[in-house]
Amino acid sequence: MAATPLLSPLYDPVTTVLSVVLAVYTAYVALDMAKRVRSADSVLARGWMVGGGFIMGLGIWSMHFEGMVAHEWPFAVAYDGLWSGLSFVLAIASGSWALWVSKQDAWLRRAWLIPAPGMAAGLLAMHYAGMMALKVSPGITWQWPWVAASVGLAYATGLLTFLVTPWFRGERRALYGGRQAGASVLLGLVLFAMHFAGMKAISYPAGTVCLSLDGLGGHSLTVLIALASVLVLTSTWVTSRLDARHQKRAAHLSQSLQRADAQLQRVAQVDGLTGLANRLVLEDHLTRAIHRAEEHHRRIALLYIDLDGFKPINDSFGHHFGDNLLRSVAQRLQEVGRKGDTVARIGGDEFVVLINGNPDASSAALVASRVKEALHRPFEVEGREVTLSCSIGAVLYPDHGPKGKLIARADAAMTAAKHSGGNMHCFYEERMEHDVQRSVELQRDLRRAMEDRDGLSLHYQPKIDGRTGQVMGVEALLRWQHPERGSISPTEFIPIAERFGLIGRLGQWVIDESCRQIQQWMQMGLRMRVAINLSVHQLRQADLPDQVQAALQRYEVPPELITFEVTESAAMEDPQASLRIFDRLSQIHVSLSIDDFGTGYSSLSYLRKLPARQLKIDRSFVQDLDREDDARSIVMAVIKLAHALGLEVVAEGVETQAQQDILRELGCDQLQGFLYAKPMAADTLQQWALGDDDARPHDVDADGGGEGGAIRPDFRDSLFTPDEPPRPQP
């Protein structure tokens, strides 16, 4: 008859539970290791692969061993060392296989085909080899349905393993922690079930004896093995967690390092507003360009570009507008620069173009003209059209000096271009560097002069009636007596005051001082009209009319005695803003005069809108009057135009009799110039006015005051009778 199954369903509950726990724990650690073998660090990953396979094998094997020991055998048992060893090796093989597959995405996707059967084969082989370690006589009786069940469950273990591993790829423990525990319990149970079925698949007939009593055995040994594997698994798990954290931190660190590095690189190289190179990059490119130039005996050129009148645009249209304009400028400059050239922005509205390719002076000048043309085309920004010009300083290397000074010298040349009126380029000359130094020093001294009220004064130059020769008023002109350098021209220090932000206070002082002087003259019985020059920067001061009014009140000066002279180009720089200020000034009844007329580009329609009373023809036209017919016809046209607009015309810079005669003939209302008087201090002017010829600081030519010569106004008369309004011209 068939063998009586001896294998009773008697299990030692503690060992059984221990076995199940081991199965679950192994699965948990295995899932952790499946993540580790995907580590970015290939050496680490390989280490985890080898170590992990061993540890998983150990876990599976001890779980299996415990499971076997859990049975209460009806005969004395011990396990054959060779077979036990073989089953251990097979356990490691299937653990390694599982780990290896968990790394192969392609294999994982078809886990059912090879990976799961592979792992199942490993597990089954491990299991039945382990059973063989129990050498018995007369032999095993197979329970085939249970064999089949064990095969099915082994396959299920494999399949389940590969189905769940992809869930645990990331390192988001918070998300996966719970899942991992659940998956491990499931896996552990299936594994144990497989083992259980495997045990059921074997039975022994009665009278069976174990032949391997000299092999491994004893409860204490199994407990030891179980403990050892728990220890190994635990340390593995801890190491795995630590490694995970370390890797996570390392990955995080390297990511943020990369980000910071990229950011630094960008910040260090690119001008944030325009995307052009910044100063650092420019200097770097310059160094390299000079190296190459020296090596091949070539030249390089550097253009230093500064926009003319950018600040008032920025001030009146807003910084957003200014920024957009700068971006458009940058774009045009980039279009001018050729491949290999560097275009950089190195300050507010300052740009540099570094020209490679062996340029000489004429080709550098050509690029400069291209830059001027490019920037002169109207810009369309935020629905407005703006036209710009620029001043360019040019240097050549090696012609214009050592590397360390190139940019500074190009800057000095640019400043020279700007001082010459802007909208041009200048090549560096030696004197320019001194100019830059000088202006920095002058600015410092001017500040001090303003604080100490020392060295600054106003001089007054008369304006003469073109028909009667009477004095119609004076123009106040600022003078600065420098303690060491002597007299400094306002054409030099006023632009410096503008550049260094001193013009507001200086202009205020001029207004105050003029009013004080008018009051003093009034106390002497003299009503003198005074014309005060306004800088374009003062026109941008919204509180200018208030300042003027305050000064008028303080010195009790009637506003009709004050005229403000504003150059045509200043008035045109921001026509709308100028118009607002002019309107407010005319509301307080001071008058307005357009200075240096003919040098700007005013439109007739705009001129008509201005509440101006007077127009001053620029000196350059007057000076050409007796030499060039062109000048004469221009002056004639201007006078006609001004009269048509109801403006009176002043000719400035009248130096000769001939000029005077022409101007009178053309119907010019007022004349001003060295022919009559140079600008004088207030007390000199008084003496001159009283007819003291010695007090006249200057006569243009010997017979300037002779018979039939210049008009000899009856000064006493005109100065001591109230100023008459100009007679209308026919």
List contacts with ligand C2E (CB under 6 A): 461, 477-478, 489-491, 494, 507, 510, 533-535, 565, 595-596, 619, 652-655, 673-674, 679
- Which residue's CB is nearer to ligand C2E, number 535 or number 684? 535
- Which residue's CB is nearer to ligand C2E, number 66 or number 596? 596
- Which residue's CB is nearer to ligand C2E, number 263 or number 481? 481
- Which residue's CB is nearer to ligand C2E, number 136 or number 534? 534
Residue 1's Cβ-count burial label (10 Å; 0-12, 13-18, 19+) is exposed
Minimum distance from CB of 465 to ligand C2E (Å)?
A: 16
Minimum distance from CB of 617 to Ca ion (Å)?
A: 9
State the residue for tokens 């240096």: 596
Minimum distance from CB of 653 to ligand C2E (Å)?
A: 4
Told to check if 565 binds Ca ion by CB under 5 A, we report yes
Q: Which long-range contacts (CB under 8 A, 24 or more apart) does 100-106 make?
A: 100/37, 100/49, 100/53, 101/162, 102/34, 102/37, 102/38, 102/161, 102/162, 102/165, 103/34, 103/37, 103/38, 103/45, 103/49
- What Rg value do the Cα atoms of the chain yield, rounded? 50
Among residues 709, 688, 708, 692, the alpha carbon closest in space to that of 700 is found at: 709
Minimum distance from CB of 655 to ligand C2E (Å)?
A: 4
Residues ≥6 apart with Cβ < 8 Å to 703: 709
CA 214 centroid distance within chain: 82
- DSSP per residue over 256-272, as a string? HHHHHHHHHHHHHHB-T
- Which residue's CB is nearer to Ca ion, number 565 or number 669? 565
- Which residue's CB is nearer to Ca ion, number 161 or number 533? 533
Collapsing DSSP states into helix, strand and coil, what is residue 278? Answer: coil
* Contact stretch for Ca ion (CB under 5 A) within 148-156, 294-302, 396-404, 565-573: 565-573
d(C-alpha 721, C-alpha 723), whole Å:
6
Q: Which residue's C-beta sits nearest to ligand C2E?
A: 673
Collapsing DSSP states into helix, strand and coil, what is residue 93? Answer: helix
Told to check if 283 binds Ca ion by CB under 5 A, we report no
723: which 2 tokens? 């100023």
User: Could you say which of Ca ion, ligand C2E, none residue 490 binds, taking C-beta under 5 to 8 angstroms by partner kind?
Assistant: ligand C2E
User: Could you say which of ligand C2E, Ca ion, none residue 400 binds, taking C-beta under 5 to 8 angstroms by partner kind?
Assistant: none
Please, what is the end-to-end C-alpha distance for the chain in angstroms? 152
Per-residue b or e along 527-536, where b marks 16 or more CB atoms closer than 10 Å to that residue's CB = bbbbbbbbbb
d(C-alpha 144, C-alpha 670), whole Å:
131
CB 71 within 8 A of CB 105: no
List % helix, strand, coil for the chain (3-state, nearest 5).
60, 15, 25
d(C-alpha 675, C-alpha 689), whole Å:
15
Minimum distance from CB of 521 to ligand C2E (Å)?
A: 18
- Which residue's CB is nearer to ligand C2E, number 582 or number 674? 674
Minimum distance from CB of 537 to ligand C2E (Å)?
A: 9
d(C-alpha 428, C-alpha 401), whole Å:
10
Minimum distance from CB of 525 to ligand C2E (Å)?
A: 26
x/- mask, Ca ion, residues 640-659, rule CB under 5 A, reads ------------x-------
- Which residue's CB is nearer to ligand C2E, number 198 or number 653? 653
CB 39 within 8 A of CB 246: no
Cα–Cα distances (Å) from 57 to 64, 96, 335, in that order, read: 10, 8, 69
User: Could you say which of Ca ion, ligand C2E, none residue 80 binds, taking C-beta under 5 to 8 angstroms by partner kind?
Assistant: none
Minimum distance from CB of 650 to Ca ion (Å)?
A: 9
Collapsing DSSP states into helix, strand and coil, what is residue 125? Answer: helix
User: Could you say which of ligand C2E, Ca ion, none residue 605 binds, taking C-beta under 5 to 8 angstroms by partner kind?
Assistant: none
* Contact stretch for Ca ion (CB under 5 A) within 100-108, 406-414, 432-440, 529-537: 529-537
User: Could you say which of ligand C2E, Ca ion, none residue 478 binds, taking C-beta under 5 to 8 angstroms by partner kind?
Assistant: ligand C2E
492: which 2 tokens? 């030099």
- Which residue's CB is nearer to Ca ion, number 121 or number 617? 617
- Identify the residue among 283, 513, 595, 669 touching Ca ion (CB under 5 A): 595
- Which residue's CB is nearer to Ca ion, number 345 or number 616? 616
Minimum distance from CB of 468 to ligand C2E (Å)?
A: 20
User: Could you say which of ligand C2E, Ca ion, none residue 461 binds, taking C-beta under 5 to 8 angstroms by partner kind?
Assistant: ligand C2E
Minimum distance from CB of 685 to ligand C2E (Å)?
A: 14
- Which residue's CB is nearer to ligand C2E, number 303 or number 682? 682
- Identify the residue among 80, 306, 596, 699 touching Ca ion (CB under 5 A): 596
Torsion, Cα of 500, 504, 509, 512 (10° steps):
170
Told to check if 271 binds Ca ion by CB under 5 A, we report no
Minimum distance from CB of 588 to ligand C2E (Å)?
A: 19
- Which residue's CB is nearer to ligand C2E, number 80 or number 595? 595
Other beta carbons less than 10 A from residue 206's beta carbon: 10
Which residues in this chain contact Ca ion in the complex, by CB under 5 A? 533, 565, 595-596, 652
